[in-house]
A and B are shown apart, each in its own frame.
Chain A
Amino acid sequence: MRSRARHTIGRPARKIAGFSAAALVRHGLGEATDWPRVWRAHELERSYDVVIVGGGIHGLAAAYYLASRHGITNVAVLEKGYLGGGGSGRNTAIARSNYLTPEGVAFYDRSLKLYENLSAELNFNIMFSQRGHMTLAHNDSSLRTMRWRAEVNKLQGIESEVIGPEEIKRLAPPIDVSADTRFPILGALYHPPGGIIRHDAVVWGYARGADRYGVQLHQQTEVLGIETSGGQVQKVRTSRGDIATKTVLNCTAGWSSLINDMVGVRAPITTSPLQAAVTEPVKPFLDAVVVSGSLHVYVSQTARGELVFGASVDPFAQYSMRGSLDFIEGLAGNVLTLMPGLSKMRLLRQWGGLCDMTPDYSPLMGTTDVDGFLVDIGWGTYGFKAGPVSGEQMAELIATGRTPALIEPFGIGRFLAGRLVGEKGAASVGH
């Protein structure tokens, strides 16, 4: 609950929505014009205990867990655009934990567990559909990687196994499993608990949850600079004024190098766009999420019936999110190689989002050489699924000052120390 009186900008929120079946019926029967706002707007305060830069799933989850688990509520989330306007509102919403390294598997599995309970925790339906996730192998070396992953996964109690073409056909009938294609399918890594989630709902659910604990969410608020003295963060300069704070968490994904630059922290990150596309909706016919590394493509069907297609990141670094015809042409060709029956389907739209790629396809989480400047970045093409666990772990780090064991392997110093966490074999097709 809020202790200090606060002013609002924009349309003042009368009341924050409390969701219940009765409220749903009431609004459903009415003209549905009077839905209360889900989070509030505020004037910027002069100081906060913690300032989180970036209003995507990572920033919002960290804010939520700081407030709900650790009672740290004097927190601001600063977002230069709108909440979820970065990768968090542009991803293809796949969640899974069948990674390659023991560190990665343990970490992503914790996120899946948090996701399984998140609708109930936030009282907001995130539509997690655990429909199974399948990564196809079209050659011996990828089949070998699948076997390796399956064993690493099983050792940690994760459902994950290699299956053959008949089983693949049974689970996903539109796939062409015949032997006379250019890239015949030899097998697949099948991961039953993987699936898709409504990504916007996760953003809104965490935003609403954080707001209810008193966290301030500031949209249209760009961070322009960070001041330090004596190697310690002191101040954040924003487009709406200065803020005094001793703790800043960088959650800006594709833009994270620019925030790091403000305090002189160097990271092994390059920014590249990842594009995706969606078709018109059709009746449900594809249950599992299907990924092909060799064809650089993945396919899933949403609850609305659209097919969502994703791929690998664009081939050179840039901060532009423009889509390209080149991309969509290549993507369509690859999708049709995989599922020839889709040739009559029409694409509705394509889009791109910025991804902060690291050399080992693992994130960077933890403290830095600058006191009070923490990072939760390097999310590349796989950070949506990790939002809950990163938020939880980063909140614990900020609250206790100790790096939790689960994220210890992912420190920003691992590159200079030569301790990479190589996940390329499990994460190079962006999801």
Chain B
Amino acid sequence: MMHLDCPWCGYRNVSEFGYLGELRERPDPATTTREEWRAYLYLRRNPAGRLEEGWYHRAGCRRYFEAVRDTTDNTVSETRPPTRHPDGHDEGEHATAGDLDVTSVSV
């Protein structure tokens, strides 16, 4: 099985993790337009190749982190603590499932 290197727990089976998808810049809800907000919600680059993405260690430390993965062969070149949390948390702050839309996790 494919492994992911959780920045806190080390290498674990990928089935322990929830997938959050590609990293995106979240517009400021106070000033954004509806179209901008929907573009943020729905549109994706979906590249074949290098992708920066978010993961959630659901069956482990329950913390978020980022990975850089090649989507054509699933080699992961880097994992790191969150650098730009979509909800604006500081780096390393303990985010939990309640803070994020994790619908994509419940597969």
Binding site for B on A (CB under 8 A): 255, 257-258, 266-271, 312-313, 315-320, 324-326, 359, 415-416, 418
Contacts and interface: CB of A to CB of B under 8 A. Distances in A.
B19 A266 contact: no
Interface stretch (B24-32, B68-76, B78-86, B88-96): B68-76
A269 B46 contact: yes
B71 A320 contact: yes
Q: Majority SS of interface residues in chain A?
A: loop
A319 B47 CA distance: 9
Interface residues of B, number: 26
A317 B72 CA distance: 10
5 contacts: A255-B48, A257-B46, A270-B44, A271-B71, A418-B38
Nearest to B69: A318
Interface of B: 1, 14-15, 18-19, 21-22, 34-35, 38-39, 41-48, 51, 53, 71-74, 107
A423 to B, nearest CB: 15
Nearest to B46: A257
A416 B41 CA distance: 9
B43 A267 contact: yes
B38 to A, nearest CB: 5
Contacts of B51: 317
A257 B73 contact: no
A223 B88 CA distance: 40
A258 B53 CA distance: 18
Contacts of A320: 71-74
Nearest to B18: A315
Given A266-B43, A269-B44, A315-B107, A324 B1 contact: yes
Nearest to B107: A315
A312 B107 contact: yes
Contacts of A326: 1, 15
Contacts of A312: 107
A124 B49 CA distance: 40
A271 B34 CA distance: 26
Contact of A268 (B19, B44, B71): B44
Contacts of A267: 43-44
A418 B12 CA distance: 39
Contacts of B15: 315, 326
Nearest to B47: A257
